[in-house]
Amino acid sequence: MRPNSLHAADLAHMVHQQTDLDAHGREGAVLIARGEGVHVFDTEGKEYIEAMAGLWCASLGFSEKRLAEVAYRQLLTLPYYHTFFQKGHEPSVRLAERLAAIAPAGLNHALFQCSGSEANDAAIKLAWYYHNVTGRPAKKKIIGRIRGYHGNTVATASLSGQPHMQADFDLPLTDRFLHVSNPNYYRFGQSGETEEQFSARMAAELEALIEREGGDTIAAFFAEPVQGGGGAITPPRGYFDLIQPILKKHDILFVADEVICGFGRTGHYWGCETYGIRPDMLSCAKQLTASYQPLSALLISDPIHAALIEGSRRNGSFGHGYTYGGHPVACAVALETLKIYEERDIVGHVRRVSPAFLDGLGALGEHPLVGDVRGVGLIAGVELVADKATKEPFPPAAKAGLLVQEKCHEAGLIVRAIGDRIAFTPPLIITAEEIAEMCARFRAGLDAAWAVLR
Ligand code: PLP
């Protein structure tokens, strides 16, 4: 490595996020220089299919010029303004209006932030605020799920069920955050248990927790329609149908974390539509701007909005907001992104190519390393196992997932190993031909890993 190179500067000064910093210190980083369609190129010129769309987010790929142009025009017109103190600007108003039109029924109001973490953090604050203002101040606890991923703030990392995001950070804040089991049927379904029976067991566990804690102490339940950071885990059949009446019975808000699922990923506009979820709040980000700008939205119901107005009467104002929340450039890019989704019928496209995606990966279920392939729309998880018949996992020291990720990388494919589950969420614009190439490169990565692990 040359002393003044980009890689040397990276090692010397850059703290990477969600990274094994010890390994980074020894091995350095892959630095991405440019993108084109579903492909990215590193600083050495090597080309990859980006089968994770970055971080489950670059829905329109890496070279959509219309988004660059709309950002430039907005920068020339009004590069910044805020939404505090009864001020605002057209891009945020038009985006709130558009989101209300396309949101699941009843979610008519939008709060804007810069990230998914902030949207979920706001949802936690609003759950407390709503219950306080409406006379149920004992409702404080928030229920998440093991392996759930809701963000990195103090509250959202507490809510997430990700041990590495809590260890040594003094998290979770245990008096407020509870967790129920991970609904991964393949891994946690018991011998002879049907998927429906597994869902019923998960729902019974949730109800028992609520009854043990007291429903009058619980403010909200958070769930990703498809769990992303937990390993791209689709819910078992009937899961959300069984859970929702339990939450209703105990007057517990349902917050749908659509940070990954929103805007077509699951083959419907919202994951909530795919799974019949009727949320009280919905957080979205990532594909809201195709990730060309940092922006998230928290969509809230009329009763929650009414509580915010009532709270302003009590407290003098709604005491919450971010300098960059609803940034005009980000909102203009989001409006253009939603226009492109509509013009190109992006949900229809996802449905058309989804069979090629799921069948292509499904065919790799035959590979000796693969125990399970499961997905919906353009999101899927592939679970690696040491023994297909018994589902026995690899010992953690084998780092089988990381090895497959590394071998895929060598084959020109960017995937994400979450433990021994390999996640796929390619840009929504991916074509059937590109999916075939993605699967071919994945097979090459699996074969190369198998040569080491067998
Ligand atoms: N919620 C889900 C489901 C996510 O997958 C993520 C990030 O991947 C977040 C929230 C946090 O979003 P951000 O990284 O924008 O803060």
Query: Which residues on adjacent β-strands are paired with residue 142?
Result: 177, 220
Q: How far is the CA of 367 from the centre of ligand 1 (A)?
A: 31
Tell whether pTM > 0.95: yes
Element of type H or E holding 431:
none
Give the ipTM of the model, two decimals please: 0.99
Structure tokens at 248: 């209703």
Residue with the nearest Cα to atom 13 of ligand 1? 116
Least Cα distance to 217 among 277, 267, 176, 271 occurs for 176
Distance in angstroms (rounded) separating the CA atoms of residues 427 and 52: 7
Q: What lines the ligand 1 site, CB under 6 Å? A: 55, 115-117, 120, 149-151, 224, 228-229, 257, 259-260, 285
- Cα of 27 vs centre of ligand 1, distance in Å, is 27
| Radius of gyration of the chain, Cα coordinates, nearest whole angstrom | 22
Closest CA to 120 of 173, 180, 147, 160: 160
- The pick from 259, 266, 289, 379 for probing ligand 1's pocket by mutation, whose C-beta has the most ligand atoms within 8 angstroms, reads 259
Q: CA-CA distance, 189 to 144, in Å (whole number)? A: 19
Burial of 311 (0-12, 13-18, 19+ CB in 10 A): buried
Selection from 258, 271, 255 nearest residue 377 by Cα: 271
| Cα 328 from Cα 410, distance rounded (Å) | 40
List the chain pLDDT tens, one digit each, 454 residues. 777 899 999 999 999 999 999 999 999 999 999 999 999 999 999 999 999 999 999 999 999 999 999 999 999 999 999 999 999 999 999 999 999 999 999 999 999 999 999 999 999 999 999 999 999 999 999 999 999 999 999 999 999 999 999 999 999 987 899 999 999 999 999 999 999 999 999 999 999 999 999 999 999 999 999 999 999 999 999 999 999 999 999 999 999 999 999 999 999 999 999 999 999 999 999 999 999 999 999 999 999 999 999 999 999 999 999 999 999 999 999 999 999 999 999 999 999 999 999 999 999 999 999 999 999 999 999 999 999 999 999 999 999 999 999 999 999 999 999 999 999 999 999 999 999 999 999 999 999 999 999 9
- Best residue among 150, 282, 416 to mutate for probing ligand 1's pocket (most ligand atoms within 8 Å of CB) is 150
- Strands 421-424 and 416-418 turn out to be antiparallel
Which phi and psi (to 5°) does residue 255 adopt?
A: -105, 115
